[in-house]
Each structure stands twice: as structure tokens, then as C-alpha cells.
Amino acid sequence: MNSIRANPQAGLDIHMLDVQFIRDNLEAVKANCKNRNVTADVDRVVALDEQRRQILQQQQVHQHRQNEISKLIPKEKDKDKKQALIQEGRDLREKVAALENQVKEVEAELKTVLMTIPNMSHPDAPVGLTPADNKVISKVGEPKKFDFKPKDHVALAEALDIVDFEAGSSVAGQKFYFLKNEAVLLELALVQYAFGKLLEKGYTPIITPDVAKVDVLEGIGFMPRGPETQIYSLANTDLCLIATAEITLGGMHRDRIFDELDLPIKYVGMSHCFRTEAGAPGRDTRGLYRVHQFTKVEMFVFCTPDQSDGLHQELLAIEESIFQGLGLPYHVIDTCTGDLGGPAYRKFDIETWMPARGEAGEYGEVTSTSNCTDFQSRRLGIRFKSTKQKGTRFVHTLNGTAVAVSRALVAILENYQQADGSVVIPEALKRWVGRDVISRKGGISG
């Protein structure tokens, strides 16, 4: 078909969900949009694709003739005939150019519509439209009973002088903060702890850039240009601050063709994460739970289609082992279709108990792991080649939080607090923090 455009290298590829797949599974795609609470004009995709193919076909006919002519010309001895051929070639050039413009227009619209269509959903993902339909699939540990009224992490942190929210908002604005004293050590400890766990599992450690180009963001499934974007853009560049290392880790191998034998490729990467939190006004306004910047250790996997379900379970198991190691009670949620977000085929969240959240404690999200199947790889042009099969196929990508530091801090401070306002350091982190307890008098040098 195509000219120029469907080449993944060109960065213009229009596959979000595979158009062919949409054509072949029209009803399923529509049903999926409904389940996901997404309004998308799926029929329009088919219509536009039809148009596009037609134009392309016409264009091909002309191109074919063009190629013929340019081969004939050097052989043609007769002057008049030669002139005639050259003239025909000129005409064809214009026709092809005109058709190409049409294709561009159609494809631009197609891409816009395609962008709104979410990934398909795992057959076992609970169907439902709101977070209320999320399903708790396992629960580990019991919420701790306190014989005093537990304070929230903000009160604890301020009294212990380990987080400075006021300075944060003064320097950078609301929802920014300074970590101080033991909170700094805790962040470093959490990072060390997470990397340690993942290294044991054979993941390759990475520290990624904290910025990425717009088309990488879009490839991963973020929409930096949207009105409700979560993404900070850097003025006068095509760069954005990343919202997660998923973006940079996923983008790391764009336009790459792997050998099947090299898969799966497993990374554990650290980055800072920046989120505007647009569309979440008034929610979780206090403290570290919802902030504009935090540090996160993220897992990311490239694999073959038949590996992805298994690896999704692996990522979840690792996340669980991390939070078990921290001694925090949690449950696991199988996210319902309506709450999946665009790229995910299935998503599990870990929510740990946060004793001071809500009225009398609530579970709060601390990790999230998604199987994005080929949704991201298709946009980023990440394929693999197998010796058994001709051609290439798109890899599957998965991501999962190892530790999102700010939220882990919330959980640790609130769960490990004592009646006197001091906080015990989780056993697993003591070797890096270098002390057992954070107490009010415990200055950093103490």
C-alpha cells in the first residue's frame, strides 16, 4: 500500500490499535469501548481506512507507471516519443502529489480518531465502569490496631521535621515539598531496597532521563497535548517532564527489532516523576499522597505475546514481595475495564493500608502493574523477529511500580508510628537508614 507513511521509522505510523484488527473485530472493539466507558467513533475508523486504501491504490497505479516511464526514457531514441514520455512523467508527478496530500489529510484524521480507541481488555478483567467495580483479588496482612488515635503522615512528618511542605510550596508551589533528615535516608533506602530485590530477579538496573520527547510520550499512551494532560511541557522544546519512567524505559528501544531469543528484556529503572494533577483538584490536597514530583523505581519488560500474561504475574509477585518485605498490610486489585486507562490490557494495583487516610483508615494505591500487550510497541515500532516465522511481530510491554517513594513514605510513616509520635524504621530498611526509629529529638546527626 502505502507510501512513506506506514513506515514505523518515520514516526508517523498511524497504528494505535491495529486498523486491520479493528476491521476484523469491529463488534468486539465497540463492545470494549463501551466496557471501558470510552466514546470513540469506531465506524469512522473503518470508513477513513477504506478511503485511505482507495487513494493509496490509485496512487500506486500512477507510481507504477511512473517507474515504468523512467525506465523507458533512457532507452527511447525517438526525440518526439521521448518528449511525450517526459511530459507524461510530469503529469504523473502532479497526480501522485495530489493524491499524497489527500492521503495525508485522511491519515491525520484517522490518527486522531485512532488515538481515542483504548487497548482491548483481558477476558478476566472485571467488567465495570467505575472504581467501585474494581475487584479485590487478594489480601495480605491485617490493618494494624492502634491503642491511640493514629496521626496522619503530614502531622507525623512535620513534628519529626522530615518533610517541609511550606518550603516546597514557597519554592516551587503547592504539592511540592522538601524531604529532610530521615525522610531523605528513607527515600534512598527504599530505592536501594527496591533495586536490591529486582537485581536478585535478574532485572537490569537503569537510571533514565527525567524528560522525554512528545512522540515518546504519545507512543506510551500519554497525551501531553490534551487539555487535561497530566504532563508538564518544557517551553520552546518538544520535551516533557516524565510522569513515570515507564515512558523513558518503554521509549528506550523504539524502532528496534529484537531477536526473539533476547526476549524477555527486563529493566528496573529509577526516575523522578512529574504530574500536573490536572483534573484532580481538591483530591488528596494534603501531604505526600498526591504530589507534583516524586521519585519512583519502575519495572519495565519487553517480551513476546505468549510471555506477557506470565510476566504480568511475575511483576505483581515482585511488587507483593516488596510490600511484604516492608511489613505493610495490603490488598491487590484487579482493575475493572472502565478504570484501565488507554494502554492497559489488564492492570493490578496494590493498595496498602493507610491508618490515617479517610475517617478511620483506608487502603491507598501504592503500585500499579499493567500488561499493555502490543499497544505501546505498535506506536513505538518495537518488534521482534523469530527464526521460525517470517517477518516481524510487535513485542508486548509491561510495566509495574517497584516503589513510588512518596506513597511508600505515607504508608510507612502512618503504619509504623508509635504513641509518642516517633516512627519505627521497617526492618528491611534499617541497614540503609542506619537507625531503628525516627524520633523528635533524633536530629540527623544524633
Which residues are CB-contacts of 15 (< 8 A; sequence separation ≥ 6)?
A: 6, 114, 378, 379
Binding-site member from 64, 225, 431, 435 for RNA (CB under 7 A): 64
Which residues are CB-contacts of 1 (< 8 A; sequence separation ≥ 6)?
A: 53, 56, 57, 60
Binding-site member from 24, 70, 136, 166 for RNA (CB under 7 A): 70
Number of chain residues interacting with RNA (CB under 7 A): 36
Nearest CA-CA partner of 369 in 351, 352, 347, 350: 347
For the CB of residue 375, give the shortest distance to RNA in the complex, in Å.
16
Check if the beta carbon of residue 204 is closer than 8 Å to that of residue 266. Answer: yes
Assess 9 for contact with RNA (CB under 7 A): yes
Q: CA angle, corner 434, sides to 433 and 439, nearest 5?
A: 80
CA-CA distance, 351 to 360, in Å (whole number)?
16
Assess 71 for contact with RNA (CB under 7 A): yes
Q: Is 346 a catalytic residue?
A: no
Binding-site member from 93, 135, 286, 435 for RNA (CB under 7 A): 93
Nearest CA-CA partner of 13 in 116, 113, 107, 109: 107
Binding-site member from 387, 441, 445, 446 for RNA (CB under 7 A): 387
Nearest CA-CA partner of 19 in 37, 38, 39, 1: 1
Assess 112 for contact with RNA (CB under 7 A): no
Q: Is 290 a catalytic residue?
A: yes
CB nearer to RNA: give 86 or 127. 86
Q: Name the one range near RNA by CB under 7 A: 157-165, 280-288, 388-396, 418-426.
A: 388-396
Check if the beta carbon of residue 135 is closer than 8 Å to that of residue 334. Answer: yes
For the CB of residue 284, give the shortest distance to RNA in the complex, in Å.
35
Q: CA angle, corner 236, sides to 232 and 241, nearest 5?
A: 25
Q: Name the one range near RNA by CB under 7 A: 55-63, 323-331, 354-362, 401-409.
A: 55-63
Binding-site member from 37, 60, 304, 307 for RNA (CB under 7 A): 60
Given 256, 277, 365, 386, the catalytic residue? 365
One-letter amino acid at 274 equals F
Assess 63 for contact with RNA (CB under 7 A): yes
The interface mask with RNA, positions 11-50, x = CB under 7 A, is xx-------x------------------------------
For the CB of residue 193, give the shortest distance to RNA in the complex, in Å.
27
Check if the beta carbon of residue 370 is closer than 8 Å to that of residue 260. Answer: no
User: Can the peptide bond before residue 264 be classed as cis, meaning omega within 30 degrees of 0?
Assistant: yes
CB nearer to RNA: give 73 or 265. 73
Check if the beta carbon of residue 251 is closer than 8 Å to that of residue 187. Answer: no
CA-CA distance, 106 to 374, in Å (whole number)?
24
Assess 392 for contact with RNA (CB under 7 A): yes
Contacts of RNA in 195-254 (CB under 7 A) = none
The interface mask with RNA, positions 255-294, x = CB under 7 A, is --x-------------------------------------
Element (H, E) at 149: none
Assess 51 for contact with RNA (CB under 7 A): no
Given 254, 290, 346, 383, the catalytic residue? 290
Nearest CA-CA partner of 195 in 183, 187, 205, 186: 205
CB nearer to RNA: give 129 or 257. 257
- Applying CB under 7 A, the residues found at the interface with RNA are 1-4, 6-7, 9-12, 20, 59-60, 63-64, 66-71, 73-74, 85-86, 89-90, 92-93, 257, 383, 385, 387, 390-392
Which positions are catalytic? 275, 290, 365, 368, 407
